[in-house]
Structure 1
Amino acid sequence: MFVWLLHRIGLRSAYLHLASMGGIALCLGLWIRAKTVDQQERGNAERRALFTGLWPPTLWLIGDSLREFE
């Protein structure tokens, strides 16, 4: 049902796969940036990078589901 709705509004699997790759790049960028901040803010910056790192697998799997639906 959810995949059908995403397909109906015009979302395609390639879009989600590209968003997944972008999420990986964003995660790496945030992780590198976390190494440049001072020690007091480093923990928060690393948690932000790890949270962002959870998005790519989810987006990729939704994209795979859409590809099977297409």
Structure 2
Amino acid sequence: MVLQLLHRAGARSTHLHLASFGAIGLCLTLWVRAKTVDQEQRGNAERRALFVGLWPPMLWLIGEALREPK
């Protein structure tokens, strides 16, 4: 049902695969940026990077599900 809604909304597997790569880049950027903040805020910044790091596999798998014929 969700996949049908995504397909009708115009989302294609390529879009989600590219979003997955973008999330990897965002995660790395946030992680590097966490090293530049002071010690008091570093824990929160690292948790944010780890949270974003969970997105790429999910986006990739949704993209794979959209690619499969129904």
- Pick the TM interval, shorter chain: over 0.9
* Aligned residue number for residue 63 of structure 1: 63
Consecutive unaligned residues in structure 2, runs of 5 or more: none
1:25-64 to structure 2, matched below 5 A, reads 25-64=25-64
Percent identity of the aligned residues?
A: 71
RMSD, aligned α-carbons: 1.1
Structure 1: segments with no counterpart, 5+ residues = none
Deviation at 1:69, TM superposition (A): 3.3
Query: With structure 2 as the length reference, what TM-score do the two structures score?
Result: 0.94
Q: Paired residues, what number?
A: 70
Q: CA deviation at 1:2?
A: 1.2
